[in-house]
Amino acid sequence: MINRIFLAASAAAILLSALPTGAARRNFPAFIGVAQCKKCHESDGIGNQHKIWSASPHARAYQTLSQEKGREISRKAGVDDPTQSLICLKCHTTGGGKTEATRTEGVGCEACHGPGSLYHEFSNHASFEARENSYRKAVSLGMYPILGYDGIKARERLCRYCHTEERPCYPESADERKRQKLPLGLIADFIFKHPLRRR
């Protein structure tokens, strides 16, 4: 009798755990890569953000790992192959080197804007009439909330996650350290000079 009760209770528990809960299961956003962003953001009509990114150090961040200077820095940090080490990849790639779709593209759009699998479709993050509503929708779908003054601290955390004195590739030269320092004012001001946010 006890065995039957135990078996019935176990079977019920297994069945109940297999049933969906009342709340819808949430999809989690994933990194999809610059190629998806480029489809719309290479248009000159909205500022060609892809072209601007392509010319930036962020676009070359992964490549620098395999260059002589990158290898020299990694040796000093005790890293054999910086192109395979999460110590280096966490800042030199989008998704910290854990996502194949973005592993070799450098620091792409989603490093600052968040994984785009759910919001990358035009209708999920852009509108010509209600930009604030579109932005809120995109944030609900995984875009990082970094716009405006409210987002200054979020932008600061994003930038300083990698641009920090603790990173293995922090320059030894005091002049270069000073040049690479990111003051909060620069971080705060950046969003208003972003090529999509017109003057």
pLDDT in tens, 118-141: 999 988 888 777 778 888 899 999
Which H or E element spans position 8? helix 2-18
pTM of the shown model: 0.76
- Cβ atoms of 29 and 119 within 8 Å: the answer is yes
- Cβ atoms of 74 and 86 within 8 Å: the answer is no
pLDDT of residue 184: 67
pLDDT in tens, 150-163: 788 888 888 888 88
Q: How far is CA 157 from CA 8, 41, 112, in A?
A: 51, 25, 10
Q: How far apart are CA 97 and CA 10, in angstroms?
A: 41
Average pLDDT over residues 168-197: 71
Domain 29-193 fold is Flavocytochrome C3; Chain A, domain 2 (1.10.1130)
Q: How far apart are CA 129 and CA 126, in angstroms?
A: 9
Confidence of residue 189 (pLDDT cuts 50, 70, 90): low
Domain ranges for the chain: 29-193
pLDDT of residue 20: 47
For residue 2, is pLDDT > 60?
no
Orientation angle between helical segments 184-193 and 152-162, nearest 10 degrees: 110
For residue 86, is pLDDT > 90?
yes
Which H or E element spans position 25? none
For residue 115, is pLDDT > 90?
yes
- Cβ atoms of 155 and 186 within 8 Å: the answer is no
For residue 167, is pLDDT > 60?
yes
Confidence of residue 94 (pLDDT cuts 50, 70, 90): very high
For residue 21, is pLDDT > 50?
no
Average pLDDT over residues 80-101: 93
CA dihedral 148, 150, 153, 154 (to 10 degrees): -70
Sign of the alpha-carbon torsion through 39, 45, 51, 52: negative
Q: How far apart are CA 113 and CA 119, in angstroms?
A: 10
